[in-house]
Structure 1
């Protein structure tokens, strides 16, 4: 049976160039490293090092064994880390729900940091709108929800605002709005509007979501933007969704008559009241400035 300590001694000796250097690297005696490598050679029935020169040199079998030993040690480290994560009650899976109206960039950096801190926690991301999202948290189907502030957070849920979302009106460069300094409400009402369905379900945003007399709806915000790019209609979307499109020149934003000030909404993170969040969920919230 392979011994992890023997593999560690072997890899260290190969990488450090000698048994004495490996011993210093590992903080062990030279004899323990030498004995570990010798015992590994006996167990495997092969010679790993040519000891006929001043410094031990890997044999062809040793060269092949080195790459396999590194793989085994990485797997052993993963097993140790996973075991420690289980002891610390780290979540196997963290389920989060995001309103379709929110750009993923809002969470991107925090999720990346969480994945590095908790590499064995799988993240399950779903897009749920309005009541679906809050019901999923209440029914323990997701641990964390991210949405746009509406009327009132349902009883049984806690929330903290994590960002302000700026909204802009957009159209294609070929739209009749493109060269207008300001687009009148009457003109907007007469042109087709593309709306994300989640916007129609948000009590705060409903009025803007149903501004035009001719409305097309889509479940996904990206689909809304694609329809606008094709010149099929105009839309009101979070600014973060269109930064790259604006840079490429496939979308432009315009100022409507009804917009006297910047259109802003609060983005919130929600979780179930009196529920103890797991380490990964708590760390994600910390990275978002919640705690």
Structure 2
């Protein structure tokens, strides 16, 4: 008998429970009271439970009825979400939005856009992947994601479509307890090359990115956050995104190095997708919101 349960019955059950009467539920659902009463009776037979105590003027939820109200709300909410997703997909919205985000994207911008995404497309499932410097491109090429946010310069790929997002400044920094932090004036290449440099690498390949590498001894990390931990603990120096180290520079935990050769460099961050396979409506919306947030911040 439980298979005879319908969403309409559950909606009527909740309407009676919320309004406190069959008449109130009828007005809410624009149905005659007799139809409301009959539906509740059918639901009670189907469940084998009395949901309302009708001995008084207004029906009151029984103990069983009160226990089932929350379950009924979850079922209805799930059905509404299913209907919403189906309608969105039928209109071209992705069944799931899969994005790979590299670690150079400022976290506050990324979180703001993803929060807006959740509000704009509440029924849309999101697959969010992160990883080392080359992981976003691998996810994209494997078809695991349809949109990746990373610097195209890392791999020099020419067969992917890319939209410029912003220039990310990278600056040379070191823990304030490190010997390099005490050197006066500009630091020469000879002075800095004898100290360990913390460098990003790709754990899946043997091709190491070499831009900005000047030290003769390097420690390589596949994860930006792991490198930050070692940086703060004085293991060596490195070029880090300014937005990531700004709080530590302000607190005094890190010191910005002044080098004779350069005081850092910039990397271009892109929204990347496979050629001939542009993002769907939600993916396109994410790119547009990233542009809007970055423009508002002056990037």
TM-score of the pair, normalised by structure 2: 0.78
Which runs of 5 or more residues in structure 1 are unaligned? none
Q: Is the 8 A contact 2:92 2:281 kept in 1?
A: yes
Q: Match for residue 193 of structure 1? A: 197
Q: Is the 8 Å Cα contact of residues 138 and 156 (structure 1) preserved in structure 2?
A: no
Rounded Cα–Cα distance in structure 1 between residues aligned with 2:243 and 2:172: 12
Task: Report the Cα distance in structure 2 between the residues aligned to 1:149 and 1:101, rounded to whole angstroms.
Answer: 12
Confirm or deny: 8 A CA contact 1:182 1:254 kept in the other structure.
no
Preserved CA contact (<8 Å) 2:104 2:168: no
Q: TM-score, normalization: structure 1?
A: 0.80
Q: Equivalent residue for 1:279?
A: 281
CA apart distance, 1:228: 1.3
Query: Does the 8 Å contact 1:98/1:128 carry over to 2?
Result: no
Q: What is the aligned length?
A: 283
Match of 1:165 among 168, 176, 190: 168
Q: Which residue, out of 42, 46, 60, partners 2:45?
A: 42
* 1:72 corresponds to which of 65, 72, 75: 75
Gaps of at least 5 residues in structure 2 are 293-299
Q: What are the Cα deviations for residues 148-196 of structure 1, in whole angstroms up to 9, with x where unaligned?
A: 2529964443222222312222222312244556441243223221111
RMSD between superposed Cα atoms in Å = 3.2
1:13 paired residue among 13, 16, 19: 16
**Alignment map for 1:1-291 (pairs within 5 Å):** 1-102=4-105, 104-116=107-119, 117=121, 119-127=123-131, 129=133, 134=137, 137=140, 140-150=143-153, 154-179=157-182, 182-185=185-188, 186-197=190-201, 201=208, 206-208=210-212, 210-243=213-246, 245=248, 251-258=253-260, 263-289=265-291
Q: Could you list the per-position Cα deviations for residues 99-147 of structure 1 after superposition, in whole angstroms to 9, with x for gaps in the alignment?
A: 45555554233233334415343414143545x7556645645322222
